[in-house]
Amino acid sequence: MLQLSVLRDQTDFVLAGLAKKGYATGPADVAAILGLDQRRRALQTSHDAAQAEANELARQIGGLMKAGDKTGAEPLKARTVELKQHTQAAATELAQVEKEQQQLLYKLPNLPHASVPEGRHAADNETIREHGTKPELGPEAQPHWDLIKKYDIIDFELGNKITGAGFPVYKGQGARLQRALINFFLDEARAAGYTEMQPPILVNEASGYGTGNLPDKDGQMYHDAKDDLYLIPTAEVPLTNIYRDEIIPVEKLPVRITGHTPCFRREAGSWGADVRGLNRLHQFDKIEIVQITQPENSYAALEIMLAHVEGLLQKLELPYRILRLCGGDMSFTSALTYDFEVWSAAQGRWLEVSSVSNFETFQANRLKCRYKVEGGKTQLLHTLNGSALALPRIVAALLENNQTSEGIELPAALHSYCGFSKIG
């Protein structure tokens, strides 16, 4: 959530940032928020003045009563009744104004970092670098949705029978490959200094608001109305919310945590060739890395996280490229996002497998996640997160890029984790 002081003091800067993100109603929403802020401050001033007057009258009434002057105290008592009614009315209106202002603030996306390129669509994203050689497959090469049937390692029809479309069942070597990738990614994260956590996969509404998933992604999250709990779209939500309403000691910064969870996304309206097979699922596994650090250190931390994800893809021997997302293609919460895409040889296209983002103070302001600076004052921290990595499209690329006439050869980094070097 944007800080109200920034909206007041840097209004033009905020409007320019919202425009870069393609937020069309920015001018109207910011004007409404600032109008409500003026009303809120006026109400607060009036409330405080009436309360101060009431306190002074109470002191005077006490003195008069002690002196036995009940007659002199009566008009003062009448005035205190008026003041009480005034403060109650002001407090009621103040609460309503603050609620309305908060809801409007929740609607505003984060402001983009200065390095974010202009643009509205994925075609406007900036390629930072590309690594690896794209494999050249023969005419007999198959896409992963045919390979999984050939080797009987993932069953979409069975998942559809049990649950519905987008909930596959992993079988045999497919299940073992999933477990191998999860363990490999977690071990790599721990070796890089991240503390492993196993968080809940259901979160409350406060957690959804804390990371900015609510109200922005309300329609995309699975919701249990009876208990008012949400299935997580990513481990970022529970992991980051560990530090909601916390003042983190400086000596414990930066926070570096990782976790594996299933992730659940409704993906309403998704269909077509681009979402076939493992390309887009309603349930999938992902390892997340999260950092929380001082503002002056956050962009250095972002570079470290980028290097970590690069290292994983290099060990998996997958060709990849890194994109800096343009303003219109970034998430609601992000100030700067880099996407990693791997080359899918049989599909002949790039598949997104990771987003690594710096949210600056946007999430921390919602979470009230702070630290103490010199002098004892508290300051908002910066939060960052990244996929390291999401499994479905990694599996798709591994199957397609490494297919041979004798089976699917797996990269050496996975051999000990899988207990086999080849599928088939």
For 206-344, list the strands marked E by DSSP: 223-224, 229-231, 255-264, 283-293, 320-324, 336-344
pLDDT for 319 equals 98
pLDDT for 275 equals 79
Report yes or no: 231 and 221 within 8 Å, Cβ to Cβ: yes
Report which DSSP code applies to 280: S
Report yes or no: 395 and 418 within 8 Å, Cβ to Cβ: no
pLDDT for 273 equals 54
pLDDT tops 90 at residue 162: yes
Q: Which residues contact 54 (CB under 8 A, 6 or more apart)?
A: 80, 83, 84, 87
- The structure's pTM equals 0.92
How is domain 4-107 classified at the CATH fold level?
Answer: Helix Hairpins (1.10.287)
Report yes or no: 211 and 242 within 8 Å, Cβ to Cβ: no
Report yes or no: 221 and 237 within 8 Å, Cβ to Cβ: no
pLDDT, tens digit, 9 for 90 and up, residues 84-122 = 999 999 999 999 999 999 999 999 999 999 999 999 999
pLDDT for 153 equals 98
Residue 68's CB is within 10 A of a number of other CB atoms, namely 9
Alpha carbon distance 160, 155 (integer Å): 9
For strands 229-231 and 349-360, give the pairing: unpaired
Question: Per-residue pLDDT averaged across 159-163, rounded?
Answer: 97
Report which DSSP code applies to 164: -
Token reading at 333: 């919460």
How is domain 122-423 classified at the CATH fold level?
Answer: BirA Bifunctional Protein; domain 2 (3.30.930)
Indicate the pLDDT class of residue 128, thresholds 50, 70 and 90. very high
Question: Per-residue pLDDT averaged across 160-166, rounded?
Answer: 96
Q: What percent of the chain has pLDDT over 90?
A: 94
pLDDT for 374 equals 84
pLDDT, tens digit, 9 for 90 and up, residues 306-328 = 999 999 999 999 999 999 999 99
Report yes or no: 278 and 153 within 8 Å, Cβ to Cβ: no
pLDDT tops 80 at residue 138: yes
Question: Per-residue pLDDT averaged across 365-373, rounded?
Answer: 97
Ramachandran class of 348: left when φ > 0, alpha when ψ lies in -120 to 50, beta otherwise: left
Residue ranges of domains in the chain: 4-107, 122-423
pLDDT for 407 equals 96
What is the average pLDDT value for the chain, to the nearest integer?
Answer: 96
For strands 126-131 and 320-324, give the pairing: antiparallel
pLDDT, tens digit, 9 for 90 and up, residues 253-295 = 999 999 999 999 997 555 555 678 999 999 999 999 999 999 9
Report yes or no: 351 and 279 within 8 Å, Cβ to Cβ: yes
Indicate the pLDDT class of residue 375, thresholds 50, 70 and 90. confident
Residue identified by tokens 């249990």 is 224
pLDDT for 268 equals 57
Question: Per-residue pLDDT averaged across 186-200, rounded?
Answer: 98
pLDDT, tens digit, 9 for 90 and up, residues 214-226 = 998 888 999 999 9
